[in-house]
Structure 1
Amino acid sequence: MLKFLPSSTLLLLGYLHYSHAQCTTPSITVASGTHAPTGTICPGDLIFEDNFDELDLKKWNHEQTLGGGGNWEFEWYTNSRYNSYVDGGILYIKPTLLADENGEEFLSSGTLDINGGSPADEYGKVEVRAKLPSGDWLWPAIWFLPRYNQYSSWPISGEIDLMESRGNRNYVNGSGVNIGTQLVSSTLHWGPAWNINKYMLTHAERLNPEGYDANWHNYQMTWTDNEINFSIDDEPLATFAPPSGGFWEWGDLDTSGYDNPWKRNTKMAPFDQEFYIILNLACGGTSYFPDDATNPGGKPWQNPSGTASTDFWKGRDQWLPTWQLETDNAAFKIDYVRIWAL
């Protein structure tokens, strides 16, 4: 029997309603849905804020799935207060082991995002203050998906990864770089087909020898109708600004064998539509943890294996002690989420 780890994903359900001052030039930010701000949106308006004084399920939705997120991850996303809860103004997304009625253990975690894509926004400034987890093969992420998939399925309609990291404290690649808790990345995913993803043209990384699990950090994005900027703690990480021919030109996709799905739209397409935010803590999978990096105790599975999840579970004596579940070290902690209009 395959074993799964419970987890949680949180999806943003709704914007708070704010009153807006009159402004001569309205914001370029678009926000729609039943919980979106009413009236004119002005530049600089705070259009969403959650300080997690409570887990408000009018704002957030739990995705419940064993689907593996397209990466054959090993967690089971649940709506469970074992996996996602608020304590002292902090949102915790924590992996746990749960037993079913037969005593079989499953790995669960959490993922939260907006309810049905409502509300979602196009263009704006985002800041999420978070402390990353430590524990082998944990995969925290703050990311965005399109509300309507206006240009077709992934990655044609795009994906924005504000922050991704790995929970391994001593996971080192062939160049001697720690690609675990010491490294975070921001990425745009885009391309004309699932197997033509030009994300490496819009991918940036930052190393922190202290580890991003050691302290709180602010993960920031400014998304305009000309470019997308990523920063950490107000220090710029990367600016991705497509040329006049858009991402099609940037990716040199004329020879891809596909027609340009964005040619009737702005140069920012597919990043010229409404996206919604996702907070999640995944585990393992067959894409994000390279086989050729070294880790104390080894890696229990190989990515090409047809029994990767079973091999992972059988190797729990390697990874489970690193989670230190008697503490909150393995929890992905979020202090606040804030979104402003431009």
Structure 2
Amino acid sequence: MEQDLGGNRQPAGSFSFVPTANGTPSRSGTPNTDRNPFGDERLEPHGSQQAGGANPFASPNISRPASSFDSSSALGSQPRGQRYFHSRRVKKDEVEKPWLSKVDPKEKWVTILPIIGIFVGLAISAVLIWDGLRSVVKHKYCLVLEDNFDKFNTDVWTKEVQVGGFGNGEFEQTTNTDENVYVENGHLFIKPTLQDASLITKDNVMNLLKDGSCTSKTWSDCVAATNTTVGNSTIVPPTRSGRINSKKGATIRYGRVEVVAKLPQGDWLWPAIWMLPVEDTYGPWPLSGEIDIMESRGNNRSYAQGGNNIISSALHWGPDVANDAWWRTNVKREALHTTYSSGFNTFGLEWSQKYLFTYVNTRLLQVLYTNFDEPLWDRGNFPAANSNGTRLEDVWSQTGRYSTPFDQEFYLILNVAVGGTNGWFADSKSNKPWLDASANAKKDFWNTQDTWFPTWKSPALEVSKVSMWQQCDGNEDL
């Protein structure tokens, strides 16, 4: 039992509450919580005691090492005049100082040799870079065309008008109307639209020869029909679109091309920026060549073959359609964390008698690169005869130029195709609504428009600028 100050006795083991300065009761015998829990009496000078007595749980100052005072702790900021740790077990004269001993003269080479190696490496790198830059061919270019589309320049561009599918079984009729090809706010738009339904649901004949609007001399390119007889699958093209070329106003043999464009968005759209020869100098396609600067698909990135997040470049060349060696010169490039329909990109070509390459936005970001360092006939490794036994004749090597057939004037084409039966959209992938070999391909496509037409959120190829330069060194044939 203990005696309290008031004379009242309390049971042993009990405790009383004494009001603090703030009116909060404290347990008797409980350490003052205002003190540092680590025992560092940081709030008062060493040796002082706070009201209420010393902390009974703190180490006595006399038993604490000098290094424990004024040391850092979890509480408060570090005071000035800190005393650093000093071991009592190491005497001053016992500390080793190897740097004061005599240095071996050979040790300096440990530093000198790596430094010499670094400088030698830098010198070799500089020489290699200089030699690489010196060896880069720098051609002189003369401007042929720079179109910013203040208007549609009919002196340069021709709107192609056809219904035959352009050899690919495409599903569009290309028109010369402002509905499908027009200029607005300084940009060129090539926009696909739906065909007039009445031309498909009723018997019709579309004959472009009558009004002279057809730009082809082939009858099948100019005439199409719809036959609603039961069991007949013939219909006119289910969509309309545009295709323009620079054959009349801008052609080059060797040089550069740049097209600044935003690609369309929509299922089964097929935008392309490409070139064909002005004359079929070496024979019908693909004997005289084709240069595909950019081709893509309007489907989204989930499409199995790659949608508008991927472009491809290719060269078409070969003795006949069955032996087109395009697959030897075909490269794809994926957009980085975006799509080619989300903004404008520059699609370019640089072409000389020694090489040809395509690029996106900068010449350093190349897509397809082809060196003309051997005859293309040899590179193609073509058979001696085609499937029907006709002998295949090499008509390229006689020129003596390894770049043949890509050694003649070419013109530029911009277009947006829709569908097709040539395999650009592979069968049975991503719910393709038609089969290439089916006679009902166009009708099957038209009948499923409720699935694909809603995806045509931005179906136009939008072009802000086209530039073409002719290589004019004066030694193009060397």
The bucket for the TM-score relative to the shorter chain is 0.7 to 0.9
> What pairs with 1:232-247 in structure 2 (closer than 5 Å)?
232-234=360-362, 235-244=365-374, 246-247=375-376
Which amino acid is 2:160 matched to?
E
Unpaired runs of 5+ in structure 2? 1-138, 202-236, 386-390, 472-478
Shift of 1:239: 1.1
Which one of 222, 234, 244 corresponds to residue 112 of structure 1?
244
Which amino acid is 1:323 matched to?
W
Cross-structure match for 1:299: 432
- Kept in 2, the 8 Å contact 1:243–1:249? The answer is no
Which one of 377, 380, 384 corresponds to residue 251 of structure 1?
380
- Kept in 1, the 8 Å contact 2:285–2:320? The answer is yes
**What secondary structure does 1:341 align onto?**
strand
- Kept in 2, the 8 Å contact 1:134–1:181? The answer is yes
Could you report, residue by residue, the CA deviation over 1:186-225 in whole angstroms, capped at 9, with x for unpaired residues?
A: 1000001111000011101001241110111000100000
Cross-structure match for 1:340: 469
- Kept in 2, the 8 Å contact 1:171–1:293? The answer is no
Cross-structure match for 1:272: 407
Could you report, residue by residue, the CA deviation over 1:12-32 in whole angstroms, capped at 9, with x for unpaired residues?
A: xxxxxxxxxxxxxxxxxxxxx
CA distance in 1, matches of 2:307, 2:198: 35
CA distance in 2, matches of 1:103, 1:308: 14
CA distance in 2, matches of 1:218, 1:102: 38
> What pairs with 1:1-342 in structure 2 (closer than 5 Å)?
43-99=140-196, 106-115=238-247, 117-173=248-304, 179-208=306-335, 209-234=337-362, 235-244=365-374, 246-253=375-382, 255-256=384-385, 257-265=391-399, 266-287=401-422, 288-294=424-430, 298-324=431-457, 329-342=458-471
Q: RMSD between aligned alpha carbons?
A: 1.8
From the CA coordinates, give the structure whose radius of gyration is larger: 2
CA distance in 2, matches of 1:254, 1:100: 47
Could you report, residue by residue, the CA deviation over 1:122-159 in whole angstroms, capped at 9, with x for unpaired residues?
A: 00011100000000000000011110100010000000
Which amino acid is 1:293 matched to?
K
- Kept in 1, the 8 Å contact 2:253–2:470? The answer is no
Structure with larger RCO (C-alpha < 8 A, sep 6+): 1
Could you report, residue by residue, the CA deviation over 1:31-53 in whole angstroms, capped at 9, with x for unpaired residues?
A: xxxxxxxxxxx923222111111
Shift of 1:93: 0.4
Which amino acid is 1:108 matched to?
R
Q: Which structure shows the higher helix fraction?
A: 2
**What secondary structure does 1:127 align onto?**
strand
CA distance in 1, matches of 2:392, 2:263: 39
Shift of 1:241: 1.2
Distance 1:157 1:102, change over 3 A: closer
Unpaired runs of 5+ in structure 1? 1-41
Shift of 1:300: 1.1
TM-score scaled to structure 2, two decimals? Answer: 0.58
CA distance in 2, matches of 1:171, 1:57: 39
Q: Percent identity of the aligned residues?
A: 38
Shift of 1:119: 4.0
Shift of 1:264: 1.2
Which amino acid is 2:293 matched to?
L
- Kept in 1, the 8 Å contact 2:314–2:368? The answer is no
Could you report, residue by residue, the CA deviation over 1:57-97 in whole angstroms, capped at 9, with x for unpaired residues?
A: 12111110001011100000000101111111110000112
Which amino acid is 2:168 matched to?
N
- Kept in 2, the 8 Å contact 1:129–1:334? The answer is yes
Q: Which structure shows the higher strand fraction?
A: 1
Which amino acid is 2:259 matched to?
V
CA distance in 1, matches of 2:238, 2:283: 34
Shift of 1:340: 1.6
- Kept in 1, the 8 Å contact 2:263–2:460? The answer is yes
Shift of 1:101: 6.9
**What secondary structure does 1:99 align onto?**
coil
Shift of 1:255: 3.6
CA distance in 2, matches of 1:91, 1:102: 28
CA distance in 1, matches of 2:263, 2:303: 18
